[in-house]
Amino acid sequence: MAEHESLEFGKADFVLLDNVSLEDFMANLKLRFEKGRIYSYIGEVVVSVNPYRSMNIYGRDTVEQYRGRELYERPPHLFAIADAAYKAMKRRNKDTCIVISGESGAGKTEASKYIMQYIAAITNPNQRAEVER
């Protein structure tokens, strides 16, 4: 389960919604966004809402919070997905991929950059591969 985020931020994983409806989904997504939580899970999938502004959630400290952790051990984040994919690749000794999908302007290119910079940071610990925006 995602690290004990208070319910004031809504449900971090949409699988945990009491009622599965478009209205409840959108209300939870809106609440999380308004509280600064741009990432949510639907099981092992991360849903992101482009904030159209810089956020201080991609730095070295955040990299360290997600490095080597299990997917639900920390709050939803792209770094959790990137770490899970990297660990799966290493464990299976096979290539892996992360599918990033969304409409134009949704932030797919930025998400790709953050994921690549996270992988660079965890595989090259001597370099300061901090994500900056």
pTM over 0.85: yes
Q: Is 130 marked within a binding site?
A: no
**pLDDT for 2 beyond 80:** no
Per-residue CA distances from 133 to 35, 53, 67, 81, 111 (Å): 21, 10, 20, 20, 12
pLDDT (average), residues 6-28: 94
Q: Is 105 marked within a binding site?
A: yes
pLDDT at 1: 45
Q: Is 132 marked within a binding site?
A: no
Q: Is 59 marked within a binding site?
A: no
Q: Does domain 7-123 sit in CATH 3.20.20.70? A: no
Q: pLDDT tens-digit profile of 39-74?
A: 999 999 999 999 999 999 999 999 999 999 999 999
Q: Is 34 marked within a binding site?
A: no
pLDDT (average), residues 25-29: 97
Q: Is 108 marked within a binding site?
A: yes
The residue assigned the tokens 């995602």 is 2
What are the strands, taking DSSP E only, across the chain? 39-42, 45-48
Cβ proximity of 2 and 12 under 8 Å = yes
Q: Is 6 marked within a binding site?
A: no
CA nearest neighbour of 39 among 68, 66, 20: 66
